[in-house]
Amino acid sequence: MKTRTTPTRHRIAKGSTAVTVTATPPMPQMKVSAVVQDGRAQAESFAKQPRKLKILLNSALAKANHIERGTFKELWPYLLAMLRLVRAFCTGKYKKISWESLILIIVAVAYFASPLDLIPDFLPGIGYLDDAMIVRFVYRSVRTELERFMEWESGLEQAG
């Protein structure tokens, strides 16, 4: 008989506002696509609440500044691009993205920001493997729109 545990909720506090990020319980047979699907409702909630999305983004940026990047290898620039896209969306500078792609990117950012997920981040050497798998899955799903954002971003840098 298989038992299923309920997801663990973690609070990310910033100032007087806190955001709750749900960590998926460890399930050996869970597929990456199922994890992404499970995160959609939470991502839609973030997308509709810019203040909470900014708190999530700040948490993910703080984590990105101090983790070992080796696990992400060639995905690192795309994870950073996802974070920049979310920032540009929050500030209203970039809105040329489909709702579906935005939600998938927010799923990846929320999963990355959460310290406890399928493989807890604190485990040396393997803690970020699941994060990298989610980022890879989302990147493959939104590649065209992410590249369009990066081109838009490059145009801003050249103009500035």
Domain limits at 63? Answer: 38-159
18 vs 23: CA distance, rounded Å: 16
pLDDT tens, N- to C-terminus, the chain (160 residues): 333 444 445 555 555 556 666 555 444 345 889 999 999 999 999 999 999 999 999 999 999 999 988 899 999 999 999 999 999 999 999 999 999 999 999 999 999 999 878 898 888 888 999 999 999 999 999 999 999 999 999 987 666 5
Structure tokens at 81: 């691009």
Look at residue 66 and tell me if it is in a domain. yes
Tokens of 97: 């993205």
Residue 24 lies in a domain: no
Total count of domains within the chain:
1
| DSSP letter for each residue of the chain | ----PPPEEEEEEETTEEEEEEEPPP-TT--HHHHHHHHHHHHHHHHH-HHHHHHHHHHHHHHHTTS--TTTGGGHHHHHHHHHHHHHHHHTS---S-HHHHHHHHHHHHHHH-SSSSS-TTSTTTTTHHHHHHHHHHHHHHHHHHHHHHHHHHHHHHH-
- For tokens 């955001």, the residue is 19
| pLDDT the model gives residue 31 | 87
Residue 68, domain member (yes or no)? yes
Asked whether residue 4 is assigned to any structural domain, the reply reads no
pLDDT of residue 156: 78
pLDDT the model gives residue 76: 97
pLDDT given for residue 132 in this prediction: 94
- Give the gyration radius of the chain's Cα atoms: 15
